[in-house]
Structure 1
Amino acid sequence: MVNGLKLPAEFRGRVEDILAGRVEPVPARHSATVAVLRDHDRHGLQVFLLRRVRSMAFAPGAYVFPGGAVDPRDGEAELAWCGRPPADWGAAFKADEALARELVCAAVRETFEETLVLLAGPTGETVVDDTRGDDWEADRQALLDRSLSFGDFLDRRGLVLRSDLLRPWAHWITPKVEPKRYDTRFFVAAMPAGQRARDVSTEADRAAWVRPAEAAERVRAGEWMMLPPTITMVTELAEYDTVADVLAARREIVVHEPTAEIIDGEAYLVLPEPSARHYPGG
């Protein structure tokens, strides 16, 4: 039995071309994404998901975590920073120190751009308690159009990036057969007290807080669509009862890149084993 997904018939020619070396795969862009988590009084552990609009070139209609590509300015050295240093993040994600810094900054910046959740505070022990208001929206728009760098945004507001609120979770690379590809590091983070996660992105048409197990079941039932990394991650998160349990999990990150193959004359996306070895507790 094939551990994977049958691709539409139109993919067969591209798969054959890439396997034969007639077509060069598109380079994968570095990106970061964050599963924002909360503990709900009645529903228990929940994760925040966005549904991408169907007009998007990449993953239209899919439920995803907030995230996006690295901005070259994300690695500015003068950025106010709290938590494990970039070198430690690099060790977790097998990245050099400069890229590790860019990935953490991209994770925090993209989460703010798409949800107004901001993992930063006036000090290394505090977090912004509310990001609603016209001034915050103006800054979000400036970040989106790249007229304001993330470092300048934090500096102007006197904020410290709270990398200690993030944890590394997984690393997936888009298959070579895809016309748009990303080299993505996945993070988890707790929803900061006082803030509200909202869909403020033009790239999404729905936002939902949902139990990871329910999200996985909706995918299996055909009600929701998710890319393999997302469905793998919500399935893994369903093993935990609380946000604290997730944040305490020890992860050994393994790089995974699904491969496209021709099997019995048809194109398949062959999926890897689970995205990391993980252990309960600190």
Structure 2
Amino acid sequence: MGITVHGLKLPESLRGRIEDVRSGRAEPVPARPAATVAVLRDHEKYGLQAFMLRRVRSMAFAPGAYVFPGGSVDPRDGEADLAWSGPSPDEWGKAFSADRTLARELVCAAVRETFEETLVLLAGHTAETVVDDTRGADWEADRQALLDRSQSFAGFLDRRGLVLRSDLLRPWTHWITPKIEPKRYDTRFFVAAIPAGQRAGDVSTEADRVAWVRPAEAAERGRDGEWPMLPPTVATLAELAEFDSVADVLAASRRIIAHEPTAEIIDGEAYLVLPESAARHYKRDERADRG
């Protein structure tokens, strides 16, 4: 997709869909609640890094794109009978402009999906501890049971005597898939440090490559088209590139605003028009080269 002053140029094949949605001839697909987590670490040599996955090309949504771990909410993520430490669902709801139930689902989905896709688990046996190693056949069996939905996330935590550590997460941003897309997500973005002792693994069948990468480098590859990437991912990476360490990211004060790009016909061509908060990250500036 070429970059213009208007945003991102879209394939001509989407022009009919844009016109149908804008005229009311086609109804937009409802956006499903989802959560994604930028898992971060401080590298001795390279500084701040984020863990990213490349989605397999057979995926219906964003095939071949580099993404953060995450996915849609499972209805059982809202189960109330799980041990919880840290900010309450009410507090998360205020941060993300969500009701209590949805906020609880989003936090649980963030922790569950991160474990399913990377083996990173933001939970511990007490409110002050965190699991230090999730490798091994028993953990893999639990991961598979979560994937095939034969075990709920609450059931998994309860059986292992674990407490969800919502205090290890921070709210970061909120993006909604454009109305022209056949699959749409209403996604809250979180950030979190990888717990000491844990290792992010290449375990997801939805990904064919994983990498720890400096946010500035990843954002540049996304802008240049070297790494296929959705605009919210580029924008988030560019924002993270402004920080020097995980501690700086976690301490950042964030005002969460929902961003929803729009698709428009401009001068006879189809464009994805980005919010200014994202469009500015497609402009080269000194922050993109930090790190």
Residue among 12, 16, 20 paired with 1:13: 16
Judge conservation of contact 1:2–1:270 (CA < 8 Å) in 2: no
1:30 matches 2:41: no
Partner of 2:36, secondary structure, is: strand
Q: Which residue of 2 aligns with 1:156?
A: 159
Q: Which residue of 1 aligns with 2:221?
A: 218
Deviation (angstroms), 1:221: 2.8
Question: Residues 145-188 of structure 1: CA distance to partner in whole angstroms, max 9, x if unpaired?
Answer: 10000000000000000000000000000000000000000000
Deviation (angstroms), 1:79: 1.0
Question: Residues 77-110 of structure 1: CA distance to partner in whole angstroms, max 9, x if unpaired?
Answer: 1110000000000000000000000000000000
Deviation (angstroms), 1:273: 2.1
Q: Which residue of 2 aligns with 1:279?
A: none
Inter-partner Cα distance in structure 2 for 1:264 and 1:113: 45
Inter-partner Cα distance in structure 1 for 2:112 and 2:224: 33
Amino acid at match of 2:18: V
Judge conservation of contact 2:223–2:234 (CA < 8 Å) in 1: no
Judge conservation of contact 2:43–2:49 (CA < 8 Å) in 1: yes
Q: Which residue of 2 aligns with 1:69?
A: 72
Inter-partner Cα distance in structure 2 for 1:220 and 1:107: 26
Deviation (angstroms), 1:4: 1.2
Q: Which residue of 2 aligns with 1:96?
A: 99
Deviation (angstroms), 1:222: 2.3
| Residues 258-277 of structure 1 aligned to structure 2 (within 5 Å) | 258-274=261-277
Inter-partner Cα distance in structure 2 for 1:73 and 1:20: 37
Inter-partner Cα distance in structure 1 for 2:268 and 2:224: 28
- Same amino acid, percent of matched pairs: 80
Amino acid at match of 2:103: A
Inter-partner Cα distance in structure 2 for 1:161 and 1:205: 29
Unaligned runs of 5+ in 1: 276-282
Residue among 251, 254, 258 paired with 1:251: 254
Judge conservation of contact 1:113–1:140 (CA < 8 Å) in 2: yes
Q: Which residue of 1 aligns with 2:289?
A: none
Amino acid at match of 1:168: P
Amino acid at match of 1:56: M
Judge conservation of contact 2:6–2:271 (CA < 8 Å) in 1: no
Q: Normalised by the size of structure 1, how large is the TM-score?
A: 0.96
How many pairs align? Answer: 275
Unaligned runs of 5+ in 2: 279-291
Inter-partner Cα distance in structure 2 for 1:127 and 1:186: 22
Deviation (angstroms), 1:218: 1.3
Partner of 1:274, secondary structure, is: helix
Amino acid at match of 1:197: A
Partner of 1:252, secondary structure, is: coil
Q: Which residue of 2 aligns with 1:241?
A: 244
Amino acid at match of 1:68: G
Q: Which residue of 1 aligns with 2:131?
A: 128
Q: Which residue of 2 aligns with 1:41?
A: 44
Q: Which residue of 1 aligns with 2:146?
A: 143
After superposing on structure 2, the runs of 4+ consecutive aligned residues of structure 1 that deviate more than 3 Å are none
Amino acid at match of 1:269: L
Q: Which residue of 2 aligns with 1:186?
A: 189
- Greater alpha carbon shift after TM alignment, 240-249 vs 197-206: 197-206
Q: Normalised by the size of structure 2, how large is the TM-score?
A: 0.93
Inter-partner Cα distance in structure 2 for 1:171 and 1:273: 14
Deviation (angstroms), 1:2: 3.4
Deviation (angstroms), 1:216: 1.1
Amino acid at match of 1:116: L
Residue among 105, 112, 117 paired with 1:114: 117
* CA RMSD after TM alignment: 0.8
Amino acid at match of 1:235: A
Inter-partner Cα distance in structure 2 for 1:87 and 1:219: 35
Amino acid at match of 1:42: K
Partner of 1:59, secondary structure, is: coil
Amino acid at match of 2:12: A
Inter-partner Cα distance in structure 2 for 1:18 and 1:170: 26
Question: Residues 238-272 of structure 1: CA distance to partner in whole angstroms, max 9, x if unpaired?
Answer: 00000000000000000010000010111111000
